[in-house]
Each structure stands twice: as structure tokens, then as C-alpha cells.
Structure 1
Amino acid sequence: MVLDFIENQFQFAEMNIRYTGSMDKLMTLLRRAVRMGYDSIVINTDIGDPDKDVDEILNPDSEPPRKKKKGRYVNREDAIPDPVQVDKSALDVAVLENNGKKLRLFSRLTVVVTDTTAIHMLMHHPQVRKYDLLAVRVSEEQTLQTLSRKGDFVDIITFDQESSSIPWLFKSKIINSCISAGISFEVSYADALKDASRRRQILTNARQLMIATRGGRGVVLDSGAEEMIDLRAPFDAINIAVLFGVRHEDSRKLIAGNAKAALRRAESRRTLKGAVHVSSLDQVPSRSLDRKSALQRLMSVPEFKAQVELLDNEENGTKN
């Protein structure tokens, strides 16, 4: 799935349709999301703790073996599957197209991060780069602090919505530091709709996050849907955001503006290109040179000169 973000056609995003190993169930959820009016849909492969076995994660209802087979449990480096491939032609997008919108599907990987080793692995893992978005589930404050400094490869920070022990939810400074770095935070509502016993803690955590982010700045709201009953239409989701403590006039941004920002960040990271020119040390301008002389020497580098000319042309085109 390639990010093909189109500014003037974006309206609502569902940032978390969970893939649990059944393609039929996934396609049913996608068709329902399209009928509800979501034009950007993120398919989430949640592998949890990468130390676990992939088959166990994607097929949690399967009966575990009586004996652990040799090699059954894989290393972290081998625990990340390929993104799910979906045939968009199997989805009826007429409703969206009639409203001038285009369906865009994105792939997302969600991983539990508990230590710096996992962070380092995700930063350099080739499988991670196959996904459009990367989300990390964090429980420890120290991990969040690390991501606030080195999290440019992460798009979304999420957490166990039902947990009563997420200490960093009360650390607004660290949370807003991550948001300032471009990372979004996630709240999912599906579990709050299923079970009254879970609902209270989920609401408590969500409201605390909204307080810490000053009304939901940098927060995306999604379903985390695994079943049809878990998914709600965009305006129902907006009303749920109000229950989570967001002002009604600000609630739309959690499935629109904030979601759009997260998708744009992912797109910019995947499409950003640069050029590196390697020179010997004696060709590097000395500090003793004045700015004009140093610039003249840099302009002798073809790559640098081409980049300057490109920027000049873009600037002139903007003025015209």
C-alpha cells in the first residue's frame, strides 16, 4: 500500500482496523468503514511483544502446542510479518466517489516497546520500513522520554487502554514534548463499548490524556475494531470524543485534522529524499574563509549547485 495522500479529498480517517489473521473478517470491516464514510483507513497489524511467536499473536484463539517446538519462538528480528495486502477493487467505493473523495488504505505496525533494545531494533529493521505507519505501545515513563528525543521513526504512541498503571499519562511535559516532535497519541473506543467493567478505566485514561494534551492536541481517536460491532460512523466517533473529555467544537479533529497530520508525517518520512556529497578533508571550507569565498567553493560542488538552483526555481515559481 502506497501513501498517496491527497489534500483536498481527505475528510475522515479510521486509524485502527485490526487485522487478526482472517482476511474475510478484515474485508468485512473495510467494507463497513467505507459505507460509513471513512475515506482513509489504516489496517493495523499488532504483533504486541516482538519476543512472542507471530502465529500466536495473529491467531490468539488457536490451541497452543503441548510442547514448544524447537525454533517455534523467534527472535525480535524475525517477529515482524509483511503488511497485509488488500485488493481495493473488491471494495465498493461508489459512495465515496460520489462525494468527491478517494479511498486510501494504509498499513500500520503496532509493537510493544519495553526497552531501548526494542527501540533500536525498530529503527533499523527492514520489515518496519514496509509499513506506512509505526505505532508503539508504551507503559514506562523512561521509554516515553527516550521516544521524545529519538522517536522520529515513530508515528503513534499508544497504550493499554484498560490499564490502571500508566504513570506517564500524568506527565504532560513529556507527552507534549513527543507531540511537538510530531508524534501522535492514540485513544481507541471499541473496548469501552463492549464491557461496562472496562469502560470506567478506559474513560479515566482517555480523559487524563485529553487533560495532558490540553484538549486533545496531537491525539487521534479510532476504533481498534476487530468485529463489526466495534466500528462506529465518523459522527458517532466525534460524540464519543466528547465523552472522553474533548470539547464538542474540538472533537472532529481527532478523526480528521489530527489523523491527517499523522498520515502526512508518515508520508513525508517515506518520501523525503536527500543527497550526500563526499569530499576529502582538504576540500572542506576552512573557518578562515569569509562567507563569500566559502559559498563559491561550495557552489563548485555539482550536487550543491543543483540543489540551490532547484530551490531558486521553486521560489521564483511561487512568486509568479
Structure 2
Amino acid sequence: MDKLGTWSGFFDLNVKYNKSTVKKTIETAIQLGYKVIAIDTVLEESAFETKKKKKGEPRDNVDIVPAPIDLHEILGDSAKDVKILHRLTIEFVNSLQAHKLSQSENFKKYEIVAVIPVSQSTFQYACSSMDVDIISFKPEDTPQFRISRKMYAMATDRGIYFELMYSPAVHDSNSRKNIISLSHLYHAVGKSQNIIVTSNAESPFDLRGPYDVINLCLIFGMTEELAKRAISDSCRTLCIRSVGRRCGKAVVWVSRIPSSEDEVSSGDDELLTDQLCVPVKRKERSVICSGGKESNEGVEFLPSTETSDDLNSFNPGKRKKSNSKIL
């Protein structure tokens, strides 16, 4: 895993894998100015179907999730200019799929996990319990269930992001209408919090430059600032959260290492001040009591201008003159 501090710039977290065009698509994305790209693998509903076997037949220990695609051999030197992530998009039909995914070894190898809920129950489960990064919907269809403010707020509080795709809106009028309607719905129920914009590109011709995408988001009803954040800062936050999701919770204790200049020797009769770290001696002032004897009781101790040998240059001011008081 590369350092997260290097994950900056513009993101495209949804590029479809096509063996014949993926290299050209990624090279085009690099030329357009994208720094982080996620190659998407779709896990359809049919992958979770299990065939009934006769009694006595051995079970097939086949992983239902395909392994992430190794693109280093395909891309070659092109991979040096961009950070490549692997994304898994799951058509989420029922909660039993979550149990099967937890038993998959290949599932843990994906950096980003997205779900496409198809019913009200699966949407509620994804918002409240499922450990995913993105909730998405097919652009050719509108959600056939209600997206409430409560469910939207629950998902955003858990760090889940909602996805809008711009490539289908460019090619198909019906998809464009659905995406615009979905964008306005996100604004109505959650004020467009935790929104990311991706391409869903299958070829280089589906990609647009980052600033073209920002202008296109104005059609979706988004402001310029929100659109820019949807392809940069929000995507970076999503990637950082995905690392925490896969690695688990941890606590980091950061402490400051003191330098040699900060180390100041202190004696029994010296007091280190908080701001200047200057040792200041304190002297007692004697008083003459009514019996003619000296005593130190009831005396306010005033700071002296005398300092240690290594801080002779420190001179807070002239010494205050004080005479003994006769009580």
C-alpha cells in the first residue's frame, strides 16, 4: 500500500474492465489529469446461486468472487504515472450474500467495495450494517423504493458514499434523466453529503476531463465547489476509509521528540517557566515581627532576576526594591 499522502489530485473510481481497451482507457485518463483510477469488476446476482447436489457429492470450494485483475503486465510503464485500485461492485439482492462474501478470500483483496441494492430491505441493510464503501444504482433504472433521510444520514455517518455516473448521462437520454433525478433526490434527503462522481467508462471515448466533469455536474444540480470535491477530496477520503475498513481499527500515539535545545537542567531551587523554559530562582524576603525577630511566615515570594550560568543573557528587567516591613 502506497503512502496515503501521495493520493491527491483527481480520481475516477469506476472504470470498467475490458481487456481490449483497458490500457488505452487508462492512458487516456492519465492524459486528462487523473491520478487515481479504480478498475471495476461486477459481481452479478447469478454468481451467488448454488446448484443443488445429490447426497454424497463433494462440495465445490470455489470462491464466488473473482480475483482482482493484475494490470501491471498489461499497462507496463503506464502504471507508474497513476495509482491503480481494484473495485468490486455487487448486485445486492438479500442479506445472505453478505455472509458468503465474508467467507471469500478474494473479496478481501479489493480496495473498494460497492453495492447496488435492489430492494428496500437490502438498501436499509447496506446503510445500517454492511461494511461497504459505496452505494450505487444502475443508471438505466431508478430506485423502485423510498430513500429516506434517516437511512441516508445513517449511511453518511458510517462513512459510506453515494455514486453518480456521468458517462451514461452523455450517451443515453433516459439514463441522463434518471441520474439528474437521483442527484436532486440526494440533495433533498441529505443535502448532497458524501457524493462522488465517476465515469463508468468502458472505452476511452467515455472519459471526460476533470473540469468538463465539473461543468457537467452543474446539469445534475450540483454547485461548482461540490462537483470539484466529488472527484477529488471526497474520493480521497473514501480511499482512506477503505484502508481502515480492510485493516481494522487502530490507535496511533504521536509524541514529540525533544531536541537538545529543549533540554534544560533544573535544580531543587529552580522553576521552569512554561513558555520560555527559563529557570528562575526564587528568594525569600525576611520580615521583622513585633518581637524584633525575623520570620518568613506570611511573606510573598517575588521572582529574582538572577538566573543560571547558561542563561546569563536573560534579563527580564530591573530588580524591584523592597524594604523589610515592621508588623
TM-score using structure 2 length: 0.69
Choose which of 188, 197, 210 in structure 2 pairs with 1:221. 197
Aligned counterparts, 1:40-59, within 5 A: 40-51=36-47
Are residues 1:119 and 2:98 paired? yes
Deviations 1:246-288 (A, max 9, x none): 11222101001111111011122233476xxxxxxxxxxxxxx
Name the structure 2 match of 1:294: none
Task: Provide the residue aligned with 1:237 in structure 2.
Answer: 213
Q: How many residue pairs align between the two structures?
A: 252
Could you list the per-position Cα deviations for residues 8-58 of structure 1 after superposition, in whole angstroms to 9, with x for gaps in the alignment?
550110010011xx32311111111111100000000112224379xxxxx
| CA deviation after TM superposition for structure 1 residue 203, in Å | 1.6
Contact 1:50 1:76 in 2 (8 A): no
Determine the C-alpha separation between the residues in 1 that align with 2:71 and 2:204: 18
Two-structure CA RMSD over aligned residues (Å): 3.0
Query: Which consecutive unaligned segments of at least 5 residues does structure 1 have?
Result: 54-69, 95-101, 275-306
**Secondary structure class of the residue paired with 1:185:** strand
Once the two structures are superposed, residues 131-180 of structure 1 have per-residue CA deviations (whole angstroms, 9 ceiling, x without a partner) of 111111112222122223322x21111112221343233x1220121111
How far apart, CA to CA, are the structure 2 residues paired with 1:84 and 1:267? Answer: 19
2:34 to 35, 38, 44: 38
Q: Is the 8 A contact 1:47 1:111 kept in 2?
A: yes
Structure number with the higher helix fraction is: 1
Q: Does 1:132 align with 2:111?
A: yes
- Is the CA contact (8 Å cut-off) linking 2:7 and 2:36 kept in structure 1? no
Cα separation, 2, equivalents of 1:261 and 1:130: 19
Give the equivalent residue in structure 2 for 1:304: none
| Distance in 2 separating the partners of 1:119 and 1:112 | 11
Match of 1:249 in 2: 225
Paired position in structure 1 for 2:132: 154
The yes-or-no answer on 1:267 pairing with 2:255 is: no
Distance between the aligned counterparts of 2:61 and 2:137, measured in 1? 20
Rounded to whole Å, the distance in 2 between the matches of 1:162 and 1:318 is: 60
The within-5 A match list for 1:21-100 is 22-51=18-47, 78-87=63-72, 90-92=76-78
Q: What is the alpha-carbon distance in structure 2 between the residues aligned to residue 241 and residue 161 of structure 1?
A: 15
After TM superposition, the score normalised by the length of structure 1 is 0.70
Asked whether the 8 Å contact 2:152–2:190 carries over to 1, the reply is yes
- Corresponding letter in the other structure for 2:119: E
- Which amino acid counterpart does residue 126 of structure 2 have in structure 1? L
Q: Please state if 1:16 is matched with 2:14.
A: yes
CA, structure 1 residues 30+181, in 2 after alignment: closer, same or farther (shift >3 Å)?
same
Cα pair 1:93 1:103 within 8 Å, conserved: yes
Partner secondary structure for residue 109 of structure 1: strand
| Cα distance between partner residues in 1 of 2:144 and 2:205 | 28
TM-superposed deviation, 1:187: 0.9
Corresponding position of 2:323 = none
Which structure would you say has the larger RCO, counting Cα contacts within 8 Å and 6 or more residues apart? 1
Gaps of 5+ in 2: 54-58, 263-327
Identity within the alignment, %: 24
Larger radius of gyration: 2
Distance in 1 (CA, whole Å) between partners of 2:61 and 2:208 is 34
Alignment of 1:142 with 2:121, yes or no, is: yes
CA distance in 2, matches of 1:139, 1:189: 21
Quickly say closer, same or farther: Cα 1:213–1:317, change in 2 above 3 A: farther
Please tell me whether the aligned partners of residues 117 and 126 of structure 2 are also in contact (alpha carbons under 8 angstroms).
no
| Contact residue 64 and residue 104 of structure 2 kept, 8 A | no
Decide which of 182, 188, 202 is 2:179's aligned counterpart: 202
